[in-house]
Structure formats: C-alpha cells, structure tokens
C-alpha cells in the first residue's frame, strides 16, 4: 500500500471514529435535555404525560395556596394568555411571590404541572449591593443599571 493510501485510510477511520463519538455524546445529552415552555406552549401542545420539562412565566396574582402544616404549595403560572396549574412540594425560594417571574422544572401529569424545582427570577435591573458599591466608588455608576445599593 502506498503512503498516500495509508494516510487516506487513517483519515477516513479517524473521521468515522469521531462521528461515532459525537453521535454517542448527542444521544447521551438527548436524555438529559429539558426544554423550556411557556403556559401557551403547554396548553397548545399538551406534552406527553411524565415527560420532564421546564415551565416559565409569571406567578398569577391570587393563585398561591399553601397547605397548612405542609410544604405543599399550589399556584398558577401564566404568560398573560394562558395559565397552568402547578403543584410543588418543597421550600420555595425567597424571591417567590405573586406577579414575579418563575421557572419550574418537573413533569406535566393529567393537566397539572408537578414541579420538582422552582426558581424565582429577579428583576433584570437587579444588581448585588457589592457590585453597585464598587461601581459607585470607581465613578463608573450609571443610573440605567438599576437603583444604587443602600
């Protein structure tokens, strides 16, 4: 076999192995990928029961109900067009409140989203006080970065 053919064979085998490796990695990721959905997506698509997904939107005003003596909380997430009922058994984040942005991760079962995790979103203008102080002290503070730290 000529040197040119050996090199070509090596390149083809290397590319095939690389393709197989990429395929295996993508297959492994596919099982762990969690897609983000709005309440309208959930209502329109009706995802298969038990499929893991993320639901994001605003906590609907007047919808939060906490069971007495329990960590179970029921609320509705809305995108101002549609709303989805959510059940969560656990401790809610400090920023969780009605009218606040929230992302929940869990499964949609029988018309109710069973959340295993709840993440509260803060205002995009939010800035940790330490960062605001550092900007103010350096003279780089701009008013459009949100309210100054106190």
Q: Which of 68-72, 84-88, 91-95, 140-144 has the lowest mean pLDDT?
A: 140-144
How many CB atoms sit inside 10 A of residue 131's CB? 12
Closest to 120 in 3D by CA, of 99, 136, 134, 135: 99
In this model, does residue 13 exceed pLDDT 90? yes
In this model, does residue 149 exceed pLDDT 50? no
- CA dihedral in degrees (102, 96, 82, 65; nearest 10)? 140
| Average pLDDT over all residues of the chain | 81
In this model, does residue 150 exceed pLDDT 50? no
Mean pLDDT confidence for 78-95: 89
Give the separation between CA 95 and CA 50, rounded to whole angstroms: 28
Q: Which of 4-18, 39-53, 83-97, 101-115 has the lowest mean pLDDT?
A: 39-53
| pLDDT of the residue at 132 | 65
DSSP state, residue 26: H
- Domain assignments of the chain as residue spans, ordered by start: 1-33, 35-121
> Could you name the CATH architecture of 35-121?
Beta Barrel (2.40)
Element (H, E) at 119: strand 112-120
- Please state whether the predicted TM-score (pTM) of the whole model is above 0.75: no
Predicted confidence (pLDDT) per residue in 21-65, tens digit: 999 988 887 766 666 788 888 888 888 777 888 888 888 899 999
| pLDDT of the residue at 76 | 93
The CA-CA-CA angle for residues 58, 39, 91, to 5°, reads 50
DSSP state, residue 147: S
């Amino acid at each position: 076999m000529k040197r040119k053919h050996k090199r070509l064979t090596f390149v083809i085998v290397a590319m095939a192995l690389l393709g197989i490796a990429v395929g295996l990695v993508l297959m492994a990721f596919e099982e762990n990928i969690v897609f983000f959905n709005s309440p309208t997506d959930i209502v329109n698509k009706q995802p298969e029961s038990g499929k893991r997904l993320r639901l994001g939107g605003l906590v609907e005003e007047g919808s939060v109900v906490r069971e007495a003596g329990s960590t179970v909380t029921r609320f509705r997430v809305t995108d101002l067009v549609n709303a989805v009922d959510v059940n969560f058994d656990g401790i809610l984040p400090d920023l969780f409140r009605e009218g606040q942005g929230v992302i929940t991760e869990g499964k949609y079962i029988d018309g109710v989203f069973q959340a295993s995790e709840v993440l509260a979103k803060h205002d995009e203008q939010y800035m940790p006080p330490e960062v605001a102080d550092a900007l103010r002290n350096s003279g780089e503070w701009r008013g459009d970065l949100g309210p100054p730290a106190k």
